[in-house]
Amino acid sequence: MLAGKRIAVVYPAYNAEKTLERTHREVDRDIVDDVILVDDASRDGTVKLAERLGIETISHPKNRGYGGNQKTCYAAALKRGADIVVMVHPDYQYSPRLIPAMASMIASGHYDAVMGSRILGRTALRGGMPMHKYVSNRFLTLSQNLLMGQKLSEYHTGYRAFSRDLLEALPLDQYDDDFIFDNQMLAQALYYGWRLGEISCPTRYFDEASSINFKRSCIYGLGVLGVSWQAFLARTGFRYSKLFPRTVPAKRRGPGTAE
Protein backbone atom coordinates (compact mmCIF):
# COMPACT_ATOMS: atom_id res chain seq x y z
CA MET A 1 0.00 0.00 0.00
CA LEU A 2 0.89 3.64 -0.36
CA ALA A 3 -0.66 6.29 1.89
CA GLY A 4 -3.34 3.75 2.77
CA LYS A 5 -4.16 3.15 -0.92
CA ARG A 6 -4.17 -0.34 -2.40
CA ILE A 7 -2.00 -0.43 -5.55
CA ALA A 8 -2.59 -2.77 -8.48
CA VAL A 9 -0.40 -3.18 -11.55
CA VAL A 10 -2.05 -4.51 -14.71
CA TYR A 11 -0.29 -6.02 -17.72
CA PRO A 12 -2.26 -5.93 -21.00
CA ALA A 13 -0.38 -8.79 -22.65
CA TYR A 14 -0.09 -10.19 -26.15
CA ASN A 15 2.84 -12.47 -27.06
CA ALA A 16 4.89 -11.14 -24.14
CA GLU A 17 6.73 -14.33 -23.22
CA LYS A 18 10.18 -12.95 -24.11
CA THR A 19 9.87 -9.78 -22.02
CA LEU A 20 7.39 -10.47 -19.23
CA GLU A 21 9.87 -11.78 -16.66
CA ARG A 22 12.22 -8.80 -17.11
CA THR A 23 9.30 -6.42 -16.68
CA HIS A 24 7.87 -8.21 -13.66
CA ARG A 25 11.25 -8.40 -11.94
CA GLU A 26 11.36 -4.58 -11.65
CA VAL A 27 7.92 -4.16 -10.04
CA ASP A 28 8.32 -2.98 -6.44
CA ARG A 29 6.23 -5.44 -4.44
CA ASP A 30 6.88 -3.44 -1.26
CA ILE A 31 4.11 -1.06 -2.37
CA VAL A 32 2.30 -3.03 -5.10
CA ASP A 33 -0.44 -5.17 -3.58
CA ASP A 34 -1.70 -6.89 -6.69
CA VAL A 35 -0.38 -7.76 -10.16
CA ILE A 36 -2.84 -8.88 -12.85
CA LEU A 37 -2.04 -10.02 -16.37
CA VAL A 38 -4.73 -10.16 -19.04
CA ASP A 39 -3.65 -12.26 -21.99
CA ASP A 40 -5.32 -11.41 -25.28
CA ALA A 41 -5.16 -14.85 -26.91
CA SER A 42 -1.38 -14.92 -27.26
CA ARG A 43 0.21 -17.51 -29.53
CA ASP A 44 3.26 -18.00 -27.34
CA GLY A 45 3.87 -19.11 -23.75
CA THR A 46 2.80 -15.87 -22.05
CA VAL A 47 0.12 -17.49 -19.90
CA LYS A 48 2.27 -20.39 -18.70
CA LEU A 49 5.09 -18.00 -17.80
CA ALA A 50 2.74 -15.64 -15.97
CA GLU A 51 1.34 -18.51 -13.92
CA ARG A 52 4.86 -19.75 -13.13
CA LEU A 53 5.75 -16.25 -11.90
CA GLY A 54 2.72 -16.28 -9.59
CA ILE A 55 0.87 -13.54 -11.45
CA GLU A 56 -2.93 -13.45 -11.31
CA THR A 57 -3.79 -14.31 -14.92
CA ILE A 58 -6.92 -13.82 -17.00
CA SER A 59 -7.07 -15.24 -20.53
CA HIS A 60 -9.26 -14.05 -23.38
CA PRO A 61 -10.34 -17.05 -25.51
CA LYS A 62 -10.36 -14.74 -28.54
CA ASN A 63 -8.34 -11.62 -29.26
CA ARG A 64 -10.34 -8.58 -28.11
CA GLY A 65 -7.85 -5.89 -29.11
CA TYR A 66 -5.75 -3.52 -27.05
CA GLY A 67 -8.72 -1.53 -25.78
CA GLY A 68 -10.71 -4.65 -25.00
CA ASN A 69 -7.73 -5.97 -23.04
CA GLN A 70 -7.56 -2.79 -20.95
CA LYS A 71 -11.25 -3.00 -20.15
CA THR A 72 -10.70 -6.42 -18.61
CA CYS A 73 -7.57 -5.18 -16.81
CA TYR A 74 -9.32 -2.29 -15.08
CA ALA A 75 -12.48 -4.25 -14.25
CA ALA A 76 -10.40 -6.99 -12.63
CA ALA A 77 -8.25 -4.54 -10.65
CA LEU A 78 -11.30 -2.69 -9.31
CA LYS A 79 -13.03 -5.95 -8.42
CA ARG A 80 -9.96 -6.95 -6.38
CA GLY A 81 -10.09 -3.70 -4.41
CA ALA A 82 -7.51 -1.47 -6.09
CA ASP A 83 -7.51 2.25 -5.21
CA ILE A 84 -4.81 3.07 -7.76
CA VAL A 85 -4.22 1.11 -10.97
CA VAL A 86 -0.98 1.35 -12.94
CA MET A 87 -0.92 -0.02 -16.48
CA VAL A 88 2.49 -1.34 -17.50
CA HIS A 89 3.14 -2.91 -20.89
CA PRO A 90 4.86 -6.25 -20.28
CA ASP A 91 7.13 -5.73 -23.31
CA TYR A 92 9.76 -3.98 -21.12
CA GLN A 93 9.55 -0.78 -23.17
CA TYR A 94 8.75 1.36 -20.10
CA SER A 95 10.52 1.30 -16.73
CA PRO A 96 8.45 -0.37 -13.96
CA ARG A 97 10.74 1.35 -11.45
CA LEU A 98 8.59 4.48 -11.83
CA ILE A 99 5.46 2.77 -10.49
CA PRO A 100 5.98 4.15 -6.93
CA ALA A 101 6.43 7.69 -8.26
CA MET A 102 3.34 7.54 -10.48
CA ALA A 103 1.22 5.98 -7.76
CA SER A 104 2.45 8.59 -5.27
CA MET A 105 1.27 11.42 -7.52
CA ILE A 106 -2.25 10.00 -7.38
CA ALA A 107 -2.07 9.07 -3.69
CA SER A 108 -1.13 12.70 -2.95
CA GLY A 109 -4.63 13.76 -4.02
CA HIS A 110 -3.30 16.21 -6.60
CA TYR A 111 -3.92 14.02 -9.67
CA ASP A 112 -6.49 11.53 -10.90
CA ALA A 113 -4.30 10.12 -13.68
CA VAL A 114 -0.57 10.19 -14.41
CA MET A 115 1.16 9.61 -17.73
CA GLY A 116 4.70 8.30 -18.12
CA SER A 117 5.97 10.64 -20.84
CA ARG A 118 8.74 9.62 -23.24
CA ILE A 119 9.03 13.22 -24.46
CA LEU A 120 9.75 14.99 -21.18
CA GLY A 121 13.48 14.76 -20.54
CA ARG A 122 14.15 14.02 -24.24
CA THR A 123 14.38 10.29 -23.61
CA ALA A 124 12.43 9.05 -26.66
CA LEU A 125 15.12 9.28 -29.33
CA ARG A 126 17.87 8.31 -26.91
CA GLY A 127 15.86 5.19 -26.10
CA GLY A 128 15.70 4.23 -29.77
CA MET A 129 12.30 5.55 -30.86
CA PRO A 130 12.33 5.51 -34.69
CA MET A 131 12.39 9.01 -36.16
CA HIS A 132 9.13 8.53 -38.08
CA LYS A 133 7.35 7.52 -34.87
CA TYR A 134 8.84 10.50 -33.05
CA VAL A 135 7.72 12.93 -35.77
CA SER A 136 4.22 11.41 -35.82
CA ASN A 137 4.03 11.62 -32.03
CA ARG A 138 5.00 15.30 -32.04
CA PHE A 139 2.56 16.18 -34.85
CA LEU A 140 -0.36 14.38 -33.24
CA THR A 141 0.39 15.78 -29.78
CA LEU A 142 0.63 19.34 -31.12
CA SER A 143 -2.67 18.91 -32.98
CA GLN A 144 -4.37 17.43 -29.92
CA ASN A 145 -3.15 20.17 -27.61
CA LEU A 146 -4.45 22.84 -29.99
CA LEU A 147 -7.82 21.14 -30.49
CA MET A 148 -8.38 20.22 -26.85
CA GLY A 149 -6.86 23.31 -25.23
CA GLN A 150 -4.23 21.33 -23.30
CA LYS A 151 -0.44 21.34 -22.83
CA LEU A 152 0.52 17.71 -22.43
CA SER A 153 3.93 16.59 -23.66
CA GLU A 154 2.42 13.47 -25.27
CA TYR A 155 -0.85 11.55 -25.51
CA HIS A 156 0.47 8.23 -26.81
CA THR A 157 2.37 6.64 -23.98
CA GLY A 158 1.26 3.20 -22.85
CA TYR A 159 2.41 3.83 -19.28
CA ARG A 160 -0.50 5.20 -17.25
CA ALA A 161 -1.82 5.30 -13.69
CA PHE A 162 -5.42 5.97 -12.66
CA SER A 163 -7.37 6.55 -9.49
CA ARG A 164 -10.28 4.28 -8.67
CA ASP A 165 -12.64 7.27 -8.81
CA LEU A 166 -11.69 8.06 -12.40
CA LEU A 167 -11.95 4.45 -13.59
CA GLU A 168 -15.36 4.06 -12.00
CA ALA A 169 -16.62 7.36 -13.43
CA LEU A 170 -15.64 6.95 -17.08
CA PRO A 171 -17.84 4.74 -19.34
CA LEU A 172 -14.97 2.46 -20.37
CA ASP A 173 -17.22 -0.16 -21.94
CA GLN A 174 -18.44 2.42 -24.45
CA TYR A 175 -14.95 3.01 -25.87
CA ASP A 176 -13.41 1.25 -28.86
CA ASP A 177 -11.71 -2.13 -28.42
CA ASP A 178 -8.72 -1.14 -30.55
CA PHE A 179 -5.81 1.25 -29.96
CA ILE A 180 -7.99 4.38 -30.11
CA PHE A 181 -9.35 3.36 -26.69
CA ASP A 182 -6.39 5.16 -25.07
CA ASN A 183 -7.22 8.48 -26.66
CA GLN A 184 -10.96 8.25 -26.15
CA MET A 185 -10.33 7.64 -22.47
CA LEU A 186 -7.81 10.46 -22.12
CA ALA A 187 -9.78 12.99 -24.16
CA GLN A 188 -12.97 12.34 -22.22
CA ALA A 189 -11.16 12.47 -18.87
CA LEU A 190 -9.82 15.92 -19.77
CA TYR A 191 -13.20 17.09 -21.06
CA TYR A 192 -14.91 15.87 -17.88
CA GLY A 193 -12.47 17.78 -15.68
CA TRP A 194 -10.23 15.04 -14.30
CA ARG A 195 -6.73 16.13 -13.28
CA LEU A 196 -3.85 14.71 -15.31
CA GLY A 197 -0.16 14.82 -14.43
CA GLU A 198 2.98 13.68 -16.24
CA ILE A 199 6.32 12.24 -15.25
CA SER A 200 9.44 11.81 -17.40
CA CYS A 201 9.91 8.16 -18.36
CA PRO A 202 12.85 6.54 -20.16
CA THR A 203 11.88 4.12 -22.90
CA ARG A 204 13.51 1.21 -24.70
CA TYR A 205 13.04 0.16 -28.31
CA PHE A 206 14.31 -3.29 -29.29
CA ASP A 207 13.20 -6.25 -31.39
CA GLU A 208 10.99 -7.86 -28.73
CA ALA A 209 9.19 -4.60 -27.82
CA SER A 210 5.66 -4.44 -29.19
CA SER A 211 4.79 -2.14 -32.07
CA ILE A 212 2.01 -1.67 -34.61
CA ASN A 213 2.58 -1.70 -38.35
CA PHE A 214 2.41 1.32 -40.67
CA LYS A 215 -1.17 0.71 -41.81
CA ARG A 216 -2.51 0.43 -38.27
CA SER A 217 -0.45 3.46 -37.24
CA CYS A 218 -2.15 5.51 -39.94
CA ILE A 219 -5.60 4.30 -38.87
CA TYR A 220 -4.71 5.13 -35.28
CA GLY A 221 -3.49 8.62 -36.21
CA LEU A 222 -6.66 9.42 -38.13
CA GLY A 223 -8.74 8.13 -35.23
CA VAL A 224 -6.82 10.33 -32.78
CA LEU A 225 -7.45 13.41 -34.91
CA GLY A 226 -11.13 12.48 -35.18
CA VAL A 227 -11.52 12.22 -31.40
CA SER A 228 -9.66 15.50 -30.90
CA TRP A 229 -11.84 17.26 -33.49
CA GLN A 230 -14.97 16.06 -31.69
CA ALA A 231 -13.53 17.44 -28.45
CA PHE A 232 -12.80 20.77 -30.13
CA LEU A 233 -16.35 21.10 -31.49
CA ALA A 234 -17.82 20.32 -28.06
CA ARG A 235 -15.37 22.60 -26.22
CA THR A 236 -16.27 25.51 -28.49
CA GLY A 237 -20.00 24.77 -28.36
CA PHE A 238 -20.41 24.00 -32.07
CA ARG A 239 -21.42 20.38 -31.79
CA TYR A 240 -21.77 17.86 -28.97
CA SER A 241 -21.56 14.08 -29.19
CA LYS A 242 -21.98 10.94 -27.10
CA LEU A 243 -18.29 11.11 -26.18
CA PHE A 244 -18.42 14.84 -25.44
CA PRO A 245 -21.97 15.77 -24.31
CA ARG A 246 -23.26 19.25 -23.63
CA THR A 247 -23.78 18.45 -19.95
CA VAL A 248 -21.46 16.13 -18.09
CA PRO A 249 -23.42 13.84 -15.73
CA ALA A 250 -22.57 14.59 -12.10
CA LYS A 251 -21.39 11.01 -11.51
CA ARG A 252 -18.80 11.40 -14.28
CA ARG A 253 -17.39 14.83 -13.37
CA GLY A 254 -13.85 15.16 -12.19
CA PRO A 255 -12.70 17.51 -9.40
CA GLY A 256 -11.63 20.02 -12.07
CA THR A 257 -15.09 20.35 -13.61
CA ALA A 258 -16.70 23.76 -13.26
CA GLU A 259 -20.23 23.72 -11.93
pLDDT tens figures, 211-223:
677 788 899 999 9
pLDDT band at 208 (very low <50, low <70, confident <90, very high): low
Give pTM, 2 decimals. 0.95
pLDDT band at 258 (very low <50, low <70, confident <90, very high): low
Report CA torsion sign: 143, 145, 151, 153. Answer: negative
Residue 211: the pLDDT is 63
pLDDT tens figures, 4-46:
999 999 999 999 999 999 999 999 999 999 999 999 999 999 9
Map out the domains of the chain with their CATH numbers: 7-245 (3.90.550.10)
At a CB cut-off of 8 Å and minimum separation 6, what does 240 contact? 233, 234, 246
- Outline where DSSP puts E strands in the chain: 7-13, 34-39, 56-59, 84-87, 113-117, 160-163, 196-200
Report CA torsion sign: 249, 252, 257, 259. Answer: positive
pLDDT tens figures, 56-75:
999 999 999 999 999 999 99
